[in-house]
Amino acid sequence: MKYLFLVLSLISLNAYSQYALTPFAEVQGTQLREIKFEDVTGSPYLFDYWVKGKVTTKSGKHYADMPLKYNVMDDKLIFKHENGNLMYFAEPVTAFELLNPDLNILDKYINGLPAVDHFNNASYFEVIFSGPTSLFKKTNKKIVESKQYGSAVTNKTFNTTNGYFILKDGNFAKITPTKKTILALFPSKEQELNEYLKKEKIDLKNDSDLKKLFEYLNKI
């Protein structure tokens, strides 16, 4: 259960009005030189442009309205300093939020979760829903190579994949969000699950619908 309490404390980022924000100019960072993948189609970043966001560091400092990029391939968060330099955070970042340009909402990301697969407690996961049974998403990017038939040219592309993970009773595990899997997580709520899926026309491949579903199943 200690991991659940950790998660619940970390993802209370939406209460930023309760925090004393540190001026953006005071953030400490280490300058980096951005690597250009000129021969690769796509980007290693979640969004290939700067987005405004919020950051919480290990010591409890909070920053808002920062221009941020999340390097998915390296699992690193970077920011653009007021002088224009690209920077890594000198202090470990425990949680951050990024403005989702498609939905105009802040998506939350945290680390400190139990190790699973090839991820460790420094890996960032997106919070889809937080509760007794919490749902997270992990986005991965890697470079894949391919050749068209008869061509000597090798094409390189950033390939994006997503995985979903459950935290329940202190256990952190990867799942495929299907009706069968979700029923196994809530075995006493089969009737409610079936009715809700039908009534709300829930798409289990849609993160917003998954959030609605887990919110409903956790409260009934």
pLDDT tens column, 88-142: 998 999 999 999 888 889 999 999 999 999 999 999 999 999 999 999 999 999 9
Query: Regarding predicted confidence, which is higher, 11 or 70?
Result: 70
pLDDT, position 153: 81
User: Helix, strand, coil shares of the chain as percentages rounded to 5?
Assistant: 25, 40, 35
For residue 6, pLDDT over 60 is answered with no
For residue 24, pLDDT over 70 is answered with no
Span 47-81, pLDDT tens digits: 989 999 999 999 999 999 999 999 999 999 999 98
Calpha distance 138→119 (Å, rounded): 10
Query: Regarding predicted confidence, which is higher, 73 or 27?
Result: 73
Span 110-125, pLDDT tens digits: 999 999 999 999 999 9
Distances (CA, A) of 18 to 12, 13, 15, 22, 62: 10, 10, 6, 13, 11
- Please state the domain extents for the chain: 2-175, 176-220
pLDDT, position 26: 57
- Dihedral-angle region of residue 108 (phi above 0 means left; psi in -120 to 50 means alpha; beta otherwise): beta
Task: Please give the torsion angle defined by the CA atoms of residues 65, 76, 96 and 51, in that order, rounded to the nearest 10 degrees.
Answer: 30
pLDDT, position 23: 46
pTM for the model stands at: 0.85
pLDDT, position 83: 83
Angle at 46 between CA 161 and CA 109, to 5 degrees: 90
Reference 11, options 147, 108, 156, 77; nearest CA is 108
Pairing mode of beta strands 40-41, 154-168: parallel
